Amino acid sequence: MVRRVVSLGGGALAVLGVLLLSPAASLAPAVSEKGELPAKCSLAGSWVNELGSRMVISPANEAGLFSGSYLTAVSASANAIRGSPLQGGQHLASDGAQPTFGFTVHWTFSDSTTAFVGQCFLDEKGAETLETMWLLREQVATQAQGWKATRVGSNVFIRVK
């Protein structure tokens, strides 16, 4: 059997040392050069997801409650799509730079309701993303049809402005 020994020069060891000892910059939210605290990920504003659905969320109140509007790009209903109201809440804790949240959309053009839960993430450049999962409940005629009444999925929203 042939064994190969790889030797690291002083330069390579120094680079390795820096990499091992440096903070996990790619895992942490952006910190300014002045050493300011990381910015908070904010839900307020306009967002679009990978389906092309758009939503606008108003600034949360002191309790973390917010409202907004949702214009879906797709629908399980045959009705014409219309903008629909949303209502939700987010955590506001002092360490809540990347808060969890939940909101429901009361569809105005169908009998369905969607509940979204998710988390607002800041990347290393300070860009915000809303990672969500949702349950879409449609109305069925009888309790016996309940088994087919709920869809589940995920959406990722990026900020439009």
16 binds ligand BTN (CB under 6 A): no
Cα–Cα distance, 88 to 100 (Å, whole number)? 11
Residues 60-119 contacting ligand BTN, CB under 6 A: 72, 74-77, 107, 110, 112, 114
User: Which is nearer to ligand BTN, 66 or 70 (by Cβ)?
Assistant: 70
The residue within the footprint of ligand BTN, chosen from 41, 53, 60, 90 (CB under 6 A), is 53
Question: What is the residue-wise DSSP string for 98-151?
Answer: S-EEEEEEE-SSSS-EEEEEEEEEE-TTS-EEEEEEEEEEPP-SSGGGGGGSEE
Q: At closest approach, how far in Å is the CB of 85 from ligand BTN?
A: 13
Report the distance separating Cα 79 and Cα 71, nearest Å: 14
Residues that bind ligand BTN (CB under 6 A): 49, 51, 53, 72, 74-77, 107, 110, 112, 114, 134, 136, 153, 155
